Structure 1
């Protein structure tokens, strides 16, 4: 999966530094990258600049449209939501019970893409 971004450094800080994904690839290696890959387990997210999408693929990327949401499971949605919003992440919907014994919260990454965090409700 590739996400296109207007500010790749902000996207890397969000996915790598705040969400804790592991950076596995960056090009170019020096200076501001046009593509960075981060990994959560066996799932890789490619972060690519809007400019690179246009230049390399001929794609007019529009980051932040609500066409999808990235979903991450957490041990405690309330604690993660508090940590992320304290770090300046934009909240869309605070933690709430959604059925199936799940608790969810919605946030936005630096480009406005929806990011959902989910955990099981504990007794």
Structure 2
């Protein structure tokens, strides 16, 4: 028996409008927002069946009594592509901060790293051999 389904990651942010705009421009589609009008406290975005949730630091503290970490390299979003250099350049053009340019890894992958506007790592990766 499978207990779980539909996994996703939630990233904590201090500026949910900026984070939503960044991921939307990167190709994610908004699929959920609360509240529906005004500044949201939570937004879900989807790309190719995968969801990323964005939750405000304030809401996570106030609504759930948690202590979210909103600084540092605490998670990585992995985006597969057919062209790592183009994907890396595209994200930088959207406002991501370069971390590591494309380089081979494990003799079968080409990977690059950027940080989104909140400092979350994004790994851009392509398979170079089967």
Task: Give TM-score, length-normalised by structure 1.
Answer: 0.91
Q: Residue 80 of structure 1 aligns to a residue in which SS?
A: helix
The correspondence of residues 70-85 of structure 1 with structure 2, limited to 5 A, is 70-85=77-92
Are the aligned partners of 2:95 and 2:116 in contact in 1 as well (CA < 8 Å)? no
Verify: 1:7 aligned to 2:15, yes or no.
Answer: yes
Change (3 A) 1:68 1:88: closer
Change (3 A) 1:42 1:105: same
Given the alignment, which residue of 15, 36, 39 partners 2:43?
A: 36
Aligned residues: 121
Q: Residue 106 of structure 1 aligns to a residue in which SS?
A: strand
**Structure 1 counterpart of 2:93:** 86
Are the aligned partners of 1:64 and 1:114 in contact in 2 as well (CA < 8 Å)? no
Task: Give TM-score, length-normalised by structure 2.
Answer: 0.86
RMSD, matched Cα: 1.4
**Structure 2 gap segments, 5+ residues each:** 1-8
1:100 shift after superposition: 4.1
**Structure 1 gap segments, 5+ residues each:** none
